[in-house]
Chains A and B, each alone.
Chain A
Amino acid sequence: MKKTWALFLQDGKLSLKGIYFYMEVFIAVVFVAVMLFLVPENFTRTQTLHVLLELSEPARSGVVQQLGATGAQVVLSSSRGELEQAMQRDRMSGGLVVSTVGDKLKFELVLQGHESARIRNLQQASLEGALLARQPHFPSTIRTTTLRPDAARLSDRQGILPVYLTMNVALMGLFIIAAYVFLDKEEGVIKALAVSPLATWQYLASKMLLMLCLGVVSTLVVVVLLDGTANLLWLMALVVASNLFGSALGLLIASYFDSMVQAMEVLYTAMIVLMFAAYSYLMPAFSPWWVRLLPTYSMLIAFRETLLVGGDMQLVFMTILMLLLLGAASFYAANRRYQRTIAA
């Protein structure tokens, strides 16, 4: 342990003289600044509705009153041409033309063209439902129940934190630890270490320890400033497990190559594959089985749980256990490989 500690202090000193430490801190600071000053706590999704009313009074006033009650942002147009021009200026807006056929109201939904068939049908159904609901004596048979009425949800800003933690704390170590090993190879010091009583695993462990410190520091900076401290101890335990997993995987991949240039392709590919899980996290509708098998998928979900008040800590515990096991297996394999190739 004395030797690992000596090497860790040495690597720490070197990292303060290099760029990687500052790069990690810089990314954390930039992330916090963007989240605090550019990203709103929650995204608002109010759609503007451009409305053309080809009606005479009193029907016109009645429709205006009803539209106002929906909460939508309504802008009245005076002609069809004006409505279409307004929609072209705001590509996220929608349009509605209300006219009469005989003594009945006729509704025409005007869409931009980029809406999917699902959205198109949904809007049509919503309009029909709203109209039906305003019929006198309309019998509503819809009842809404909630499985977990006390379930908390993260703000939109906090919801991005698990992605940041997975990318910057778990997977960034994959790159940086490889860079440190290749730097030692380039300078040749790895040969000098190989002919000292320092064991290979001690060399690798000191590098992982350094990555862990970087990960813990950058996590604390981010979660404290972004109010992600609901289950801080569980969160830090998960950060440790994720970071060890990422570092061990980085060491294993790097053991197959002689330089960072050679290893870059595989490291990038590994990172991209592992980050597929972020798509499923952000868009739960896309969760194929192979994405759910990725350790980063469980990692993202577990990070989310640690940020939630009343999150599922059993799931977090199981994820920590899984990451530690995967990390240990990667470390064992990396150690075996480096014992044979460290000074080659």
Chain B
Amino acid sequence: MQGCRNMSKKGGKKMISVQGLSHAYKRGGPFAVKDATFSIAKGEILGFLGPSGAGKSTTQGVLTGLLPLQTGEVQVAGFNMRHPERALYNRLGVSFEQSNVYAKLTALENLRFYARLFDVPTRDPMELLRLVGLNEVAGKRTGEFSKGMKHRLTFARSLINNPSMWFLDEPTTGLDPAIAHEIKGIIKEQNTRGVTVFLSTHNMQVADELCHRVAFIVDGEIKLIDSPRNLKLQYGERVVEVEYRDDGVLKRERFSLSDPEEQAELKLRLASGQIETMHTKEATLEEIFITVTGRGLS
């Protein structure tokens, strides 16, 4: 996946193009999104990262047509979002942070009903339920589902029409690690098939693992957009931490890879054969986020 993450998407055909997008919930009120400009290439995964209330959901709302486009120009999958045509939604998949399925219907009934709303060939509902591990409870009313199960069903539903543009809002929130791992695997697999993904999250590990590029958004403003690798190279300190034994005592030392002197010391330490553990200590996306925005993610 590392190779995939580093794959350059710049210069590819644009799936989403946003120019000067601003949105306020009240006329003349504070802007939830201010003058946002970015694009997403076909087949790219862009992570929208920011704390709660940063403007992630508002941006996604405008991109999916749930919120009206007030200011700016937005194109999604070739459709102008000023007056989006319903045909656009045959190409879109949207997985919401808050699960929203019919509580009185079974999981299978929910997917079968939703499939009938599309004008394009749809996927087999049972296959999707199997994909997210809900095939055993396909005939159970979703009102009896746990929060995590509903979340997986909402996620599965967003794939029913084989979308080429996929919006995911906090796709792994509230899921246990094993299920979250499976969900991430599905996202990667869809992406290798060419699906473009717009992923809103405040989980930096998810973003780091999945996204080709990430955008940091705070107070409605995009502060930065780049690939996780470039960000780490630009903002992280290239350090190696080693643990070794000296006269039977466990010691720990850090060596900067940017400093020639420390590089030489590291070589000597390696040659001594006393090293027990060695880790590169690159900066995490969360640390970079704090450095760039001056704000935490929670």
Please indicate whether A and B come from the same complex rather than being unrelated chains: yes
Q: How far is the CB of A86 from chain B (nearest CB, A)?
A: 62
Chain A residues in 8 Å Cβ range of B118: 196-197
Q: Is the CB of B100 within 8 A of A189?
A: yes
> Roughly how many angstroms separate A188 CA and B64 CA in the complex, as a whole number?
15
Tell which of B82-90, B221-229, B238-246, B267-275 binds the partner. Answer: B82-90
Q: Is the CB of B100 within 8 A of A6?
A: no
Which residues of A136-187 are within 8 A (CB) of B? 187
Contacts A14-B104, A188-B99; is A197 near B65 (CB within 8 Å)?
Answer: no
Nearest chain B residue, comparing its CB with the CB of A340: B68
Chain A residues in 8 Å Cβ range of B102: 10, 14, 187, 189
Nearest chain B residue, comparing its CB with the CB of A7: B117
Q: Is the CB of A195 within 8 A of B64?
A: yes
Nearest chain B residue, comparing its CB with the CB of A194: B66
Which residues of B75-121 are within 8 A (CB) of A? 86-87, 89-90, 92, 94, 96, 98-105, 109, 113-114, 116-119
Chain B residues in 8 Å Cβ range of A191: 66, 96, 100
> Roughly how many angstroms separate A198 CA and B90 CA in the complex, as a whole number?
10
Interface residue B23 (Cβ < 8 Å from any Cβ of A): no
Contacts A196-B89, A199-B86; is A3 near B116 (CB within 8 Å)?
Answer: yes
> Roughly how many angstroms separate A193 CA and B87 CA in the complex, as a whole number?
13
Q: Is the CB of A14 within 8 A of B105?
A: yes
Chain A residues in 8 Å Cβ range of B109: 13
> Roughly how many angstroms separate A187 CA and B66 CA in the complex, as a whole number?
16
Pick from A189, A198, A340: contact of B101, CB under 8 Å: A189
> Roughly how many angstroms separate A188 CA and B103 CA in the complex, as a whole number?
10
> Roughly how many angstroms separate A199 CA and B96 CA in the complex, as a whole number?
20
Interface residue B157 (Cβ < 8 Å from any Cβ of A): yes
Which residues of A188-223 are within 8 A (CB) of B? 188-189, 191-199
Chain B residues in 8 Å Cβ range of A193: 117
Q: Is the CB of A197 within 8 A of B105?
A: no
Q: How far is the CB of B67 from chain A (nearest CB, A)?
A: 8
> Roughly how many angstroms separate A6 CA and B112 CA in the complex, as a whole number?
10
Q: Is the CB of B100 within 8 A of A195?
A: no
Nearest chain B residue, comparing its CB with the CB of A339: B68
Interface size on A, as a range, is 20 to 34
Q: Is the CB of B104 within 8 A of A197?
A: no
Chain A residues in 8 Å Cβ range of B105: 10, 13-14
> Roughly how many angstroms separate A215 CA and B259 CA in the complex, as a whole number?
82
Q: Is the CB of A18 within 8 A of B92?
A: no
Interface residue A92 (Cβ < 8 Å from any Cβ of B): no
Chain A residues in 8 Å Cβ range of B99: 188
> Roughly how many angstroms separate A199 CA and B101 CA in the complex, as a whole number?
19
Which residues of A241-296 are within 8 A (CB) of B? none
Interface residue A343 (Cβ < 8 Å from any Cβ of B): yes
Q: Residue-by-residue, is A226-252 near B (CB-CB < 8 Å gives 1, otherwise 0)? A: 000000000000000000000000000
Nearest chain A residue, comparing its CB with the CB of B93: A195
Chain B residues in 8 Å Cβ range of A3: 116-117
Chain B residues in 8 Å Cβ range of A6: 113, 116-117
Nearest chain B residue, comparing its CB with the CB of A191: B100
Contacts A191-B96, A195-B94, A197-B86; is A18 near B117 (CB within 8 Å)?
Answer: no
Chain B residues in 8 Å Cβ range of A134: none
Chain B residues in 8 Å Cβ range of A188: 96, 98-100
Chain B residues in 8 Å Cβ range of A340: 68
Contacts A3-B116, A6-B117, A187-B103; is A192 near B86 (CB within 8 Å)?
Answer: no
Chain B residues in 8 Å Cβ range of A45: none
Identify the 9 closest CB pairs spanning chains A and B, nearest first. Answer: A188-B100, A6-B116, A343-B66, A196-B117, A195-B94, A197-B89, A17-B104, A197-B86, A198-B117
Q: List 10 A-B contacts (CB under 8 A).
A: A10-B105, A14-B105, A17-B104, A188-B99, A194-B66, A195-B66, A195-B89, A196-B89, A197-B86, A343-B66
Given A13-B109, A197-B87, 20 other A-B residues pairs in contact with their CB atoms under 8 A: A3-B117, A10-B102, A13-B105, A14-B105, A17-B104, A18-B104, A189-B100, A189-B102, A192-B100, A192-B154, A193-B117, A194-B65, A195-B64, A195-B92, A197-B90, A197-B119, A198-B117, A343-B61, A343-B66, A344-B67
